[in-house]
Amino acid sequence: MNTIRNPILPGFNPDPSICRVGEDYYIATSTFEWFPGVQIHHSRDLANWRLLGRALDRVSQLDMRGCQNSGGIWAPCLTHADGKFWLVYTNVHHHMGAVVMDTPNYLVTADKIEGPWSEPVFLNASGFDPSLFHDDDGKKYIVQMQMGEAVTSVRFDGIILQEFDAQKMQLVGAPKKIWPGSAIGITEGPHILKRDGWYYLITAEGGTALRHAISVCRSKNLWGPYELHPQNPMLTAFQKDQLNLKSTGHGCFVETQNGEWFTVHLCHRPLQRTGRLVLDREENKSVPLGRETCLQKFRWDADGWPRLAHGDNSPRDTVEVNLPAHQWPEENLRDDFDGSKLNIHFQTLREPVAASWCSLRRRKGWLSLRGRDSLASCFDQSLLARRLQHFKASAETCVSFQPVNFKQAAGLIAYYDRLHYHYFRITSAGAGKIKLGVISSENTKASRLEIAELPLSAGERIFLRMENNFAELHFAWSLDGKDWTQADRVFEATMLGDWVSPHSNFTGTFWGVCCQDISDRTAWAEFDYFEYRPAN
C-alpha cells in the first residue's frame, strides 16, 4: 500500500479533472489569467505528481488580453478516447459587474499529452465548466452548467447536455437541461460517468468556498430524469470545523488498473498560525495558497451509489492506494537563466512570453525584462512568477537595474491580483540615485515603505529576498549576497489570498520578478537567478 497525502497538488491548482491512460494518471487544473493555460500533472501512483506542462501555449488557443482578475481558464476537462486526448475549457472574458457573463467554450485535441495541442474549436458560450462525455456507443456529448441572467437572480440555471459530432467537430441538435441541481444550489462543474448501465452525473455545488460539495445523481437514460444520491452530498467539509481541508468539492472520478476508485477534488487550507486555523478576516482570514487539489478513495455500495471509503462524507488528510510508489526526480526550484528555456513553474499574466519584452539572450546568463504597463494593468505586464505552494517559504533574486525616473521600477513581487500585492522594488530617487522600498496594494488602498537610498552605481547588482512565515512576510536586501539588511516592517501576507479580494477569489499567491516603465517603455531590468525555497 502507498499513502496519498493531501493536498496532492499544493498551491493554486483548482477544479481538477483526472484521466487515466494505462498506468499513467493525468490531472488538468484551472489557470485563470495566468499563461500558458491549463496545468497538466502526471503520476503513476496517485501519490507523487510532477508538473508535465501546460496545454494552451499560444494566443490562437488562448487570448486573454484585457480579461479581468480571475477570468481566463475555468475548469478544464481532460479525457482520452479514440487514441487521443481531448481537452475542453472556458476562456472567461467577463464575469463581474454586469448582467451577463461572457464564457466562450472551446475544444482542443492532441495525440500525446505533451502536445502539440490543436487549434481550438468553438463550442458555445451559454455557460462555463464544460466537460466531454464519451458514451460506449461511440457518441460524444458536451455537458455544462447553464448561466442565467443576473437580473433574474438565476445565475446557475442547471446542467445542460448537447451531442457533439466528432467527425464534423461541432455541436449538433439542441441542448437540453438534464438536471436543475439539488437544494444545495450553485450547480456547476459537471462530469458524466457510465457504470453498470447507469449514467452518473457528478457536479460541484454550494459555491467554491466553505459550503462547497460534490453532489451525485444518476439515471438509466443519459437525458434523464436523474435521481439524487440518498445521502447527498457525497463529499463536503461544510460546518466541520475540526477538518484541515476546507471548501472541498468539484469532483471527477477515476478507476485504477487495480479496480480501486478515487475522486479528485479541490480544497482550501485556510492560513494557520501557531497550529490554529484562522477563519475570519478579523483574525486574518485568508487562503494565500489558493484552491488546491486532493484525492479521496470511495467505494460502490450494493445499492449502486458511490460513498467515501471511510464511511462518512468528510475529506481525509491521508488516503491509502494499492499502487507501488513511483517517485519523480527532485524538482529544480532555482533558475539561473543559463539555458534557452525558463523553469517550467514560471507563468506570465494574460499573454505569452515574447522576445520584445522577455529575453534570455539579451545578457547571457540573465533574464531581461523590459518595463511596460503598471501592475494595475490588464494588458502589457512584464511579470514572470511561480506559485507559492508552502505556508513557509522564501524567494531570492539578484537584479541589475538603473532607472532614470520614478516611472521605472523593477524587483521582487508577492502577487495575488492586480490590486493585491507587496512589491519590493528599485526605482529612481533623482539624479544619480536609486531607492529601495516596498509598495503594498490592497484593493484601492496603497502604502509605501522606503527602505534605502543608494548611488545609481549600486543598481548594477542588488540582491533581494522575501520570506513568508504563515501570516507574516519579510523583505531583505544585500549588495554582496552575504550581508543582509532586513526591512524593519513585517508585512501582512493575509491580504494575498482568496476571500480577501472583492475582485477575484479563484487564484492564489504568486512570487516572481517584474519590471515597469510607464514613461517610454525603454527600461530593461536584468535578473541573475530566481530561487524558491520551501521551508515545510
pLDDT tens across 67-112, in order?
A: 999 999 999 999 999 999 999 999 999 887 776 789 999 999 999 9
Look at 281 and 524; give whichever has higher pLDDT. 524
- Domain-embedded: residue 193: yes
CA distance 245 to 253: 19
188 is catalytic: yes
- pLDDT given for residue 36 in this prediction: 98
Shared domain check, 416 and 364: yes
Give yes or no: residues 338 and 211 share one domain: no
Q: Could you tell me which of 211, 196, 221, 225 has the C-alpha nearest to residue 305?
A: 196
Residue 188 and residue 60 share a domain: yes
Read off the CATH number of the domain in which 218 is found: 2.115.10.20
Average pLDDT, integer, range 469-485: 95
Q: How confident is the model at residue 274 (pLDDT cuts 50, 70, 90)?
A: very low
In the predicted structure, residue 282 carries a pLDDT above the cut 50: no
320 annotated active-site: no
Q: Is residue 329 included in any domain, yes or no?
A: no
Report the SS3 class of residue 256: coil
The pLDDT of residue 96 is: 78
* Percent of the chain whose pLDDT exceeds 90: 88
Lowest mean pLDDT among 32-46, 97-111, 336-350, 401-415: 97-111
Query: Using an 8 Å Cβ cutoff, are 17 and 4 in contact?
Result: no
- Boundary of a domain, candidates 271, 292, 321: 321
Mean pLDDT for 57-61 is: 98
Q: Are strands 198-205 and 188-195 parallel, antiparallel or unpaired?
A: antiparallel
Mean pLDDT in residue range 398-413: 97
pLDDT of residue 271: 77
Say if residue 308 is in the same domain as residue 438: no
Query: 31 CB contacts (<8 Å, ≥6 apart)?
Result: 37, 38, 39, 54, 72, 73, 347
Please count the structural domains in the chain.
2
Boundary of a domain, candidates 297, 321, 345: 321
Burial degree of 213 (CB within 10 A; 0-12, 13-18, 19+): buried
pLDDT at 503: 67
In a domain, 481, yes or no: yes
Residue 353 has pLDDT above 70, yes or no: yes
Same domain assignment for residues 94 and 25: yes
pLDDT over 70 (residue 151): no
At 211 the pLDDT is 95
Distance CA 207, CA 535 (A): 32
The answer to whether 213 touches 233, Cβ cutoff 8 Å, is: yes
Element (H, E) at 127: none
Do 294 and 342 have their domain in common?
A: no
Report the phi/psi class of residue 152: left, alpha or beta, with left for phi > 0 and alpha for psi in -120 to 50: alpha
Q: Are residues 74 and 120 in the same domain?
A: yes
Is pLDDT at 395 greater than 50 in this prediction? yes
Q: What is the DSSP string of 201-233?
A: EEEEES-SSTT-EEEEEEESSTT---EEPTT--
Considering 289, 321, 353, which residue would you say is the last residue of a domain?
321
pLDDT of residue 279: 45
Name residues whose C-beta falls within 8 Å of residue 3's C-beta, 6 or more positions apart in sequence: 47, 318, 319, 320, 321
Residue 328 lies in a domain: no
In the set 45, 188, 292, 396, the catalytic residue is 188
Give me the pLDDT at residue 147, please: 86
pLDDT tens, residue by residue, 5-56: 999 999 999 999 999 999 999 999 999 999 999 999 999 999 999 999 999 9
Tell me whether residue 303 is in a domain.
yes
Q: Are 233 and 374 in the same domain?
A: no
pLDDT band of 197, cuts 50, 70, 90: very high
Q: Please state, in angstroms and rounded to a whole number, the distance separating the CA atoms of residues 373 and 521.
A: 8
Average pLDDT score over the chain: 94
The grid coordinates listed for 429 are: 530617487
**What DSSP state is assigned to residue 328?**
P
The CATH number linked to 380 is: 2.60.120.200
Residue type, 25: Y
Q: What percentage of residues in the chain have a pLDDT greater than 70?
A: 96
Would you say 474 and 490 are in contact if contact means Cβ atoms under 8 Å apart? yes
| Whether the predicted pLDDT of 195 surpasses 50 | yes
Residue 327 falls within a domain, yes or no?
no
* Prediction pTM value: 0.96
For the sheet with 170-179, list strands across it: 131-134, 140-147, 156-165, 170-179
Q: Tell me, yes or no, whether 367 and 293 share the same domain.
A: no
272 and 346 co-located in one domain: no
- Of 117-126, 145-154, 494-503, highest mean pLDDT: 117-126
Instruction: Give the residue among 164, 171, 201, 144 at the shortest CA–CA distance from 81.
Output: 164
Q: Which residue range forms the structural domain that includes residue 480?
A: 334-534
Between 480 and 1, the higher pLDDT residue: 480
Asked whether 428 and 410 are in contact (CB, 8 A), the reply is no
Is residue 370 located within the same domain as residue 310? no
**Degrees, nearest 5: CA angle 257-315-31:** 75
Taking CA 142 as the corner, what is the angle to CA 140 and CA 144, rounded to the nearest 5 degrees? Answer: 155
Residues 96 and 138 in one domain: yes
